[in-house]
Amino acid sequence: MSSVSALNSLLSSSSDNTSGIDISSILAAMVGAQTPGIDVSSAVSAAVTAARAPEQVWEADQTTLSSQYSELQSIQSAATSLQTDMQNLNSLSGPLSERTVTSSVASAVTATAAAGTTLGNHQVTVNSLATKASWYSDEQSSASATLPSGSFTITTSTGSTTVNTGSGGDASLSDVVSDINSQNLGVTASVVTDANGARLSLVSDTSGSGGNFTVTPGTSSIGFTQAVTGSDASLNVDGVPISSATNTVSGAIAGVTLNLLSPTTAGAPASLSVSANSSDITSAVNQFVTDYNSTVSLLNQQYTFSSNSGSEGDLASDPTLISLQQTLGSIATYSAGAGSSGGVNTLSDLGITMNSDGTLAVDSTTLSSAISNDPSGVQNFLQGTALNGFANTANNALSSFTEPSDGAFTVDLNSMSAQNTDLTNEINNFETSYITPLQTSLTADYTTAEEALQTLPTQLAQIQAELGNTPSSTNG
């Protein structure tokens, strides 16, 4: 095939394989050039780049989807945090159920209260504390001094044991201590040393009369003295006499544990007040407002017109966000209704009001006053009479968005992910079925054309020779 024929073939075949590339002009310029030739690699690259125009559109769509996916995940996270706040406020073991107990005579008695304990005041008189029985021995020169041979018996409520000393037994007070403590008698032994010498000290492991024990000398010359007799604590709770084997008293007041520290002054009982834990409640309410505002702020960004992009956010038309915005509005305007008990019926009664941008603001003075003066009203509003109040209502409303399996966020995110996968497949298929064959074809065609162009000078010289235009005749 002649060079001209090869070029004509390339022109006709290439016209169907490229888009946006004027191959005729390219080749014509190359033919007329001083040094004809084609940069095959550059020519093929330019043609393939033009052919990939549809991919650029798909990739732009993927970029938008990626942005939408990330933004929706952020909103999902904020809404989930808000829902967690609602569940916390609705929990029977959450901040609304936490209790604080204050004592008017903290040096004599303090107390703690379990979650949900009935609020109220109580009078406690501490008559005497529970004590632990204890004994001590006669003095010895030191803890390691050799003891005289003999024995003594320790008798507790569970039985008796005999301790042998001296030859064939425990040689010193240190040995006696190790012996007794290894037997788990319910009595703890130790050596007490002062300027006069060393004594064996025996103390019951339990307080109260039930922990009493005796030490009876046998053949031992070592004597023992009872230091303290175990006795039960004696107290009066709201006028009712109470005995306790320990100074930690549970059950005298339902849900309250008393810690007895010393007897109260005669005729001056300690006043205990069981109240709501205002600090925890305040913190929980403020956390709810913070997370609510975070969610609203993210939504507001989507509906704010950007002068740079000339439009609203990527998700401005997303039905999930539109629905969530409406849901947040209904949460903020929730009312307990006329049938509710207490003086708290709306968020505004807690000092929570809405700003112009849809976020909430908290008046700390109003909130503190409501919690202090009407704790039952606050709890009834937030939890309802049967966990059917504000917190539960808001939690249920948010569940339709945050449910992991079929919530609106999950459905929306899955749809975006599927669209992205479809676009990836479209690009891959386009590369495989169109771009790769096109690149192969163009490379072959341009290579053939390049080879043809390289023969032109020779063919032109031949034509000139046939026409008599030889270099010698031309030069005369």
Tell me if the domain spanning 134-228 has CATH number 2.60.40. yes
- How far separated are the first and last CA of the chain, in Å rounded? 35
Say if residue 177's pLDDT is above 50: yes
- Sheet with 99-103: strands ordered across: 99-103, 270-276, 120-128, 233-237, 240-244
Can you give the pLDDT at residue 21?
45
The residue behind tokens 């949460």 is: 331
Q: What is the pLDDT of residues 413-430, one digit of tens each?
A: 999 999 999 999 999 999
In 3-state terms, what secondary structure has residue 114? coil
Say if residue 11's pLDDT is above 60: no
Say if residue 266's pLDDT is above 70: yes
**Nearest residue to 445 (alpha-carbon basis) of 455, 437, 433, 434:** 437
- Contact between residue 142 and residue 197 where contact means Cβ atoms under 8 Å apart: yes
pTM of the entire structure?
Answer: 0.72
**Of the ranges 15-29, 58-72, 173-187, 350-364, which one carries the lowest mean pLDDT score?**
15-29
Residue 174 CA to residue 177 CA, distance in Å, equals 5
Alpha helices in 91-165 (DSSP H): none
- Contact between residue 416 and residue 69 where contact means Cβ atoms under 8 Å apart: yes
Say if residue 473's pLDDT is above 60: no
Q: What is the pLDDT of residues 34-67, one digit of tens each?
A: 455 778 888 888 988 899 899 999 999 999 999 9
Band the pLDDT of 29: cuts 50, 70, 90: very low
Band the pLDDT of 449: cuts 50, 70, 90: confident
Q: What is the pLDDT of residues 81-93, one digit of tens each?
A: 999 999 999 999 9
Can you give the pLDDT at residue 220?
72
Write the DSSP string, 25-61: HHHHHHHHSSS----HHHHHHHHHHHHTHHHHHHHHH
Centre a 10 Å sphere on the Cβ of residue 434 and count the other Cβ atoms it contains.
Answer: 15
Residue 357 CA to residue 334 CA, distance in Å, equals 18
Average pLDDT over residues 301-310: 78
Domain-wise residue ranges, the chain: 1-98+277-460, 99-129+233-276, 134-228
Q: What is the CA radius of gyration of the chain?
A: 47
**How high is the mean pLDDT of the chain?**
89
Say if residue 15's pLDDT is above 50: no
Can you give the pLDDT at residue 270?
97
Write the DSSP string, 325-363: HHHHHHHHT-B--TT--SS--BGGGGTEEE-TTS-EEE-
